[in-house]
C-alpha cells in the first residue's frame, strides 16, 4: 500500500466510502464468518477502524485492499474467539447461482449439492486456511494480493492454500465425481 | 515425475500456483497416469465450484441503515477522520491483556531457559577480549573452540600474540576434541595450512594447494606442520599474522 492521503475526509465523504464498499466488504466478511449478522458487524467495525486511523490511500485499487486487510484480520480474530464452537450452517445464497452452460439436470443437481457441502466444509477449516482459501479461490485474488491482505509471505499463502484444499478434498470425497459419473 | 511427487503438487495445479517447470512436469505426468488424473479432476472440480460458494443473500433493506449505523458507532468528539498513529489493523492481542501477558511471560521464560542452558556460551560471547593465552593456560579448549566459531570473540583472539608451542598445543587439542566446525577449519586449518605452504613450497603452489583442499580435517594436519615450521623461524607468532599471509596470497 502506498502512503495514504494526508487530507482529512469529511463525514459526508466517509459516508460515500461506506456506501461504495459496504456490499463487497459484507460479502467478504460473510464468506469468512458464514453468518450475515456477524458479517455486517465486522464490516461496520472495519469502517470504524478506518475512521479511527484516518488513513485512506489515493489509489483506488489500494482502497479495497486496505479494507479487505482490516476485515480479514477482524474476521480471523473472531473465528479464533469462536474456538471449537460448531460453525453455523451458512445461508443458502448459492441456490440462486446461475446454472452453468449445457450441464444436464443431474449434473446441476450434483453441482448444487457439492457447493452446499463445500460451504459447510469451508466453515470447518482453521482460520488462516479459511481466509487464504476464501481470498484466493472464492474472491479470486492472486497469491501476491492474498499475501498482502494477509500480511504474510507468498510461501505462507501457498502452504495454507495447499492444506485447505487437501482438507476440503478429504472431507468432500463422497460428493466429488458424482456429476462426472452421471 | 513420480506419482508421489505428483500427488504432492496436485492441490496447487488447478490454480496454476506451481512454478512453471513443475506445472509443466505435472501436466506431462497427468497425460500418462490415470490415477493422478482422477485426483487432479477432483481438485479441479473443487476449484471450479469454489468460485460460486457463499454468496450473501441479504434481505431487502439490509443496507438502508448500514452507513448511518457506522457513523453512530464512530468515536464522539471528532467531526472528521484525523491522522492517527493507531493502525487500522489491530494486533491480535489488542484488548486481550491476558493473552499479551501470557505471551510476555512465555518469552521471558524462554529467555531464562536459554540463559541457563547456554550460560557458558553467553559468558564466552560477552567476555571482553578474552586472550588466547588465558584459554590455553586454563586448558579450556572447549571454550576456545566456541570462541573461534564466534565472529566477535575470534576478532579479539587473533590479535593475541602467543608462543608457537601454545598455538601448536591448541590446534592439537582442538583436533582431539573433534571440533572441526567450518569456522575453525576455515580459520585455523586453511590459514595455517597456507602459511605452511608459503614457507615450504612458495606462494603460488601454496595458493593452488589451498584452493583445492577442503577446509577441515586435512588442513588441521597441515596446520600443525605449518606451526612447527613457523616455530623454527620465529619465536612468537599471532594468528592475525598467519591470517595476513593467507590473505596476501589468496
User: Could you tell me the pLDDT band of residue A83, with boundaries at 50, 70 and 90?
Assistant: low
Residues of B in contact with A140 (CB under 8 A): 51
Q: Which residue has the higher pLDDT, A83 or A23?
A: A23
Q: Which residue has the higher pLDDT, A26 or B245?
A: A26
For an interface test with B, which of A76, A115, A159, A177 has the most B Cβ atoms less than 10 Å from its Cβ? Answer: A115
Question: Taking a C-beta distance cutoff of 8 angstroms, is the pair A161, B12 a contact?
Answer: yes
Minimal Cβ distance to A138: which of B50, B57, B63: B50
Location of C-alpha cell 566456541: B146
Inter-chain touch B52–A97, beta carbons under 8 Å: yes
Give the percent of chain A with pLDDT over 70.
76
Inter-chain touch A161–B15, beta carbons under 8 Å: yes
pLDDT at residue A97, rounded to an integer: 38
Mean pLDDT computed over every residue of chain A: 77
Give the closest residue to B192 by CA, choosing from B142, B233, B135, B240: B240
Residues of B in contact with A35 (CB under 8 A): none
Question: Taking a C-beta distance cutoff of 8 angstroms, is the pair A129, B67 a contact?
Answer: no
Strand-pair partners of A56? A5
Question: Taking a C-beta distance cutoff of 8 angstroms, is the pair A57, A69 a contact?
Answer: no
Q: What is the pLDDT of residues A143-167, one digit of tens each?
A: 888 888 888 888 889 999 999 999 9
What is the 3 state secondary structure string of B104-131?
A: HHHHHHHHHHHHHHCHHHHHHHHCCCCC
pLDDT at residue B142, rounded to an integer: 67
Q: Residue A101, by phi and psi: left (phi above 0), alpha (psi -120 to 50) or beta? A: left
Tell me: pLDDT of A94 over 50.
Answer: no
Q: A84 vs chain B: nearest CA distance in angstroms?
A: 18
DSSP letters along B164-220, please? HHHHHHHHHHHHHTT---HHHIIIIIIHHHHHHHHHHH-HHHHHHHHHHSPSSHHHH
Residues of A in contact with B5 (CB under 8 A): none
With a CB cutoff of 8 Å and minimum separation 6, the contacts of A138 are A31, B50, B51, B53, B54
For an interface test with A, which of B37, B68, B81 has the most A Cβ atoms less than 10 Å from its Cβ? Answer: B81
Q: A160 vs chain B: nearest CA distance in angstroms?
A: 11
Question: Taking a C-beta distance cutoff of 8 angstroms, is the pair B145, B181 a contact?
Answer: yes
Question: Taking a C-beta distance cutoff of 8 angstroms, is the pair B136, B212 a contact?
Answer: no
> Nearest residue on chain A to B15, judged by CA atoms?
A137
Q: Report the pLDDT averaged over residues A58-68.
A: 82
pLDDT at residue A3, rounded to an integer: 41
pLDDT at residue B23, rounded to an integer: 87
pLDDT at residue B106, rounded to an integer: 94
pLDDT at residue A5, rounded to an integer: 47
Nine-digit cell string for A29: 466478511
pLDDT at residue B196, rounded to an integer: 61
> Nearest residue on chain A to B84, judged by CA atoms?
A53
With a CB cutoff of 8 Å and minimum separation 6, the contacts of B92 are A73, A77, A80, B99
pLDDT at residue B124, rounded to an integer: 55
With a CB cutoff of 8 Å and minimum separation 6, the contacts of B69 are A44
Question: Taking a C-beta distance cutoff of 8 angstroms, is the pair A116, A92 a contact?
Answer: yes
What is the pTM (predicted TM-score) of this model?
0.54
- pLDDT tens for each residue of chain B, 250 residues long: 788 888 888 898 888 888 888 888 888 888 888 888 888 888 888 888 888 788 888 878 788 788 888 888 877 655 444 444 445 555 555 556 788 888 899 999 999 888 777 765 655 555 544 566 676 667 666 676 667 666 666 666 665 555 556 666 666 666 666 555 555 555 566 566 666 666 666 666 666 655 555 544 445 566 666 666 666 665 456 666 666 665 565 4
Inter-chain touch B55–A97, beta carbons under 8 Å: yes
Find the farthest-apart pair of alpha carbons in chain A and give their distance in angstroms, rounded.
60
Supply φ then ψ for residue A5, to 5 degrees: -65, 135
Q: What is the pLDDT of residues A102-146, one digit of tens each?
A: 455 555 666 777 788 888 888 888 889 999 999 998 888 888 888
Please indicate if any CB of chain B lies within 8 Å of the CB of A118. Answer: yes
Please indicate if any CB of chain B lies within 8 Å of the CB of A112. Answer: no
Please indicate if any CB of chain B lies within 8 Å of the CB of A89. Answer: no
With a CB cutoff of 8 Å and minimum separation 6, the contacts of A90 are A30, A34, A35, A119, A120, A123, B54
Amino acid at each position: 500500500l502506498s502512503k495514504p492521503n494526508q487530507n482529512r475526509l469529511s463525514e459526508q465523504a466517509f459516508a460515500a466510502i461506506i456506501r461504495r464498499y459496504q456490499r463487497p466488504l459484507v460479502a467478504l466478511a460473510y464468506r469468512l464468518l458464514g453468518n450475515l449478522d456477524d458479517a455486517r458487524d465486522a464490516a461496520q467495525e472495519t469502517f470504524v477502524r478506518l475512521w479511527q486511523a484516518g488513513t485512506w490511500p489515493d489509489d483506488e485499487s489500494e482502497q479495497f485492499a486496505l479494507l479487505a486487510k482490516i476485515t480479514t484480520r477482524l474476521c480471523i480474530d473472531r473465528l479464533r474467539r469462536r474456538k471449537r464452537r460448531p460453525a453455523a450452517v451458512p445461508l443458502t445464497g448459492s441456490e440462486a447461482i446461475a446454472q452453468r452452460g449445457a450441464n444436464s439436470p443431474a449434473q446441476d443437481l450434483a453441482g448444487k449439492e457439492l457447493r452446499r457441502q463445500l460451504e459447510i466444509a469451508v466453515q470447518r477449516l482453521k482460520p488462516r486456511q479459511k481466509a487464504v482459501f476464501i481470498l484466493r479461490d472464492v474472491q479470486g485474488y492472486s497469491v501476491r494480493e492474498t499475501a498482502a491482505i494477509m500480511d504474510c509471505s507468498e510461501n505462507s499463502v501457498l502452504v495454507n492454500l495447499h492444506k485447505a484444499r487437501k482438507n476440503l478434498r478429504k472431507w468432500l470425497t463422497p460428493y466429488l465425481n458424482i456429476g462426472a459419473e452421471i | 515425475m513420480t506419482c508421489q511427487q505428483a500427488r504432492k503438487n496436485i492441490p496447487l495445479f488447478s490454480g496454476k500456483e506451481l512454478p512453471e517447470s513443475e506445472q509443466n512436469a505435472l501436466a506431462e505426468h497427468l497425460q500418462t497416469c490415470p490415477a493422478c488424473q482422477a485426483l487432479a479432476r477432483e481438485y479441479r472440480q473443487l476449484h471450479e465450484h469454489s468460485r460460486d460458494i457463499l454468496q450473501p443473500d441479504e434481505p431487502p433493506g439490509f443496507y438502508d441503515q448500514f452507513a448511518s449505523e457506522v457513523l453512530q458507532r464512530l468515536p464522539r468528539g471528532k467531526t472528521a477522520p484525523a491522522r492517527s498513529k493507531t493502525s487500522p489493523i489491530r494486533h491480535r492481542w489488542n484488548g486481550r491483556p491476558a493473552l499479551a501477558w501470557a505471551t510476555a511471560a512465555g518469552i521471558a521464560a524462554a529467555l531464562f531457559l536459554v540463559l541457563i542452558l547456554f550460560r557458558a556460551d553467553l559468558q564466552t560471547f560477552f567476555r571482553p577480549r578474552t586472550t588466547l593465552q588465558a584459554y590455553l593456560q586454563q586448558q579450556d579448549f572447549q571454550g576456545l573452540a566456541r570462541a573461534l566459531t564466534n565472529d566477535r570473540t575470534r576478532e579479539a583472539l587473533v590479535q593475541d600474540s602467543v608462543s608457537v608451542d601454545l598455538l601448536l598445543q591448541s590446534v592439537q587439542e582442538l583436533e582431539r576434541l573433534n571440533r572441526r566446525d567450518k569456522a575453525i577449519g576455515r580459520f585455523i586449518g586453511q590459514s595455517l595450512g597456507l602459511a605452511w605452504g608459503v614457507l615450504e613450497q612458495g606462494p603460488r603452489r601454496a595458493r593452488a594447494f589451498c584452493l583445492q583442499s577442503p577446509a577441515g580435517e586435512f588442513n588441521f594436519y597441515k596446520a600443525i606442520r605449518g606451526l612447527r615450521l613457523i616455530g623454527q623461524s620465529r619465536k612468537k607468532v599471532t594468528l592475525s599474522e598467519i591470517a595476513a599471509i593467507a590473505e596476501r596470497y589468496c
